[in-house]
Amino acid sequence: MQLDEVAQWKPFVPVNGDPIDLSFLDAHSITYLHQAEGKEDIEYTFFVTYSFHCFAKDYPDLTDAERSALMYHAPKDSRPFCYKRYHLARHYLRQIIENLPATSVTHAGFGSYATAEVITETGERAWYYVPFKVYKERKKYRLHVTSAYLISEAPKSAKVGFFTIAYNLRMGKKLPSKQR
């Protein structure tokens, strides 16, 4: 499928370093199965893409030389590569997207939704904020992850079921929003 976002991420090649693979953020499809007692099962297949904000961030304290050495050029913009965001994305992001129906999805503003809670390798809770948008493109369901980063506490926003979002998208209804 021809997508409106990056389908394959080229590796990040640091100055005097080995290339860092970003293929785990390549576009993919995922099928979610909604099962409800007394109702027919519904499958929703989404084509998923990721923004480079999942692995890049411009920190104000970077020197010009550091910024230049870390610069990653995406088709629409450029930002410095962020090792912290990269490691978080590599470890958690795909798993979060695959489990959206079972996670707590909240309104993220600007027509976006987000999920946040992860359990670290040490068993601790962490808030890894993953905002995403859903829409139809060429009669296909799309999910675009717009960013992914750590936050200090749980977001305080209204919750919404992922299958409610998917169902409204399927039926051509307005997507759930904070405003009622």
For the chain, the domains span: 23-171
Does the global pTM surpass 0.85?
yes
Task: Look at residue 179 in the predicted model and tell me its pLDDT.
Answer: 53
Distance, in Å, from the CA atom of 106 to the CA atom of 95, rounded to the nearest integer, reads 17
pLDDT averaged over the chain? 91
CA distances for 40 relative to 33, 34, 43, 163, angstroms: 11, 9, 10, 14
Going by C-alpha positions, the residue among 70, 66, 62, 78 that lies closest to residue 12 is 70
Give which of 8, 9, 144 is closest to 81, Cα–Cα: 9
What is the pLDDT, as a whole number, of residue 120? 78
pLDDT of residue 180: 45
The predicted pLDDT at position 3 comes to: 67
Is there a contact between 145 and 97 (Cβ–Cβ < 8 Å)? Answer: yes
Low-confidence ranges of the chain (pLDDT < 70): 1-3, 179-180
Amino acid residing at 107: H
Q: pLDDT tens-digit profile of 123-170?
A: 888 889 999 999 999 899 999 999 999 998 888 888 999 999 999 999
